[in-house]
Amino acid sequence: MDSFDTRTTTTTSNTNSSPLSSSPSSPPSSQSSLPLTATSPTIIVTPCAACKILRRRCAEKCVLAPYFPPSEPLKFTTAHRVFGASNIVKFLQEVPEAQRADAVSSMVYEANARIRDPVYGCTGVICQLQKQVLELQVQLARVQAELVNMRCQRANLMALIFMEMEHLQQPSSLVNTVDDLHCLGTNGAFLDEKSVEAVLWESQLI
């Protein structure tokens, strides 16, 4: 009997000391009492087209980033194929910041011309454009000469029309001139055809 009582007492004491028998009024843990803090969003920086093609980390102050955005990889590929990345960076560092965009456009244009024509490159394009300019200048000179000629013809035509109108308004002068010529012929004066035309022309001018 004594041994049974001892076992019962031991079991009872173990049951009271188990963690499941703790009272519900125990204070909450310190972790549950802390307020929840919002986590800051992760900012993903997209590298520029130059650094992406070169497979390097795009720095915050990358010289190539403003002029080779990630959406235009072909732009840097063309320039890099002809000039090289180190030369492009060197060119941009030597140019003032206000003129760097124009410098990049010039390099890309020249690189495209060099790829199309490896022998002459941009010089061949310039020569072709100069040839077209000369041809257009010749055509323009011809058109201007034709325009001047047409204006002269118009002025001459208008002068003839005015003279004809004056001639129709003064019929008596021509009759008097013909009578004078008839008198000169009857008096024995020698009148050739050119003299008659000259007299008629002078009579029309009066």
Question: Looking at per-residue confidence, does 169 or 154 come out higher?
Answer: 154
pLDDT bucket at 177, cuts 50 / 70 / 90? low
pLDDT tens figures, 10-52: 444 444 444 444 444 444 444 444 444 444 444 446 889 999 9
> What span, in angstroms and rounded, lies between the C-alpha atoms of 199 and 65?
90
Answer yes or no: is pLDDT of 185 > 70: no
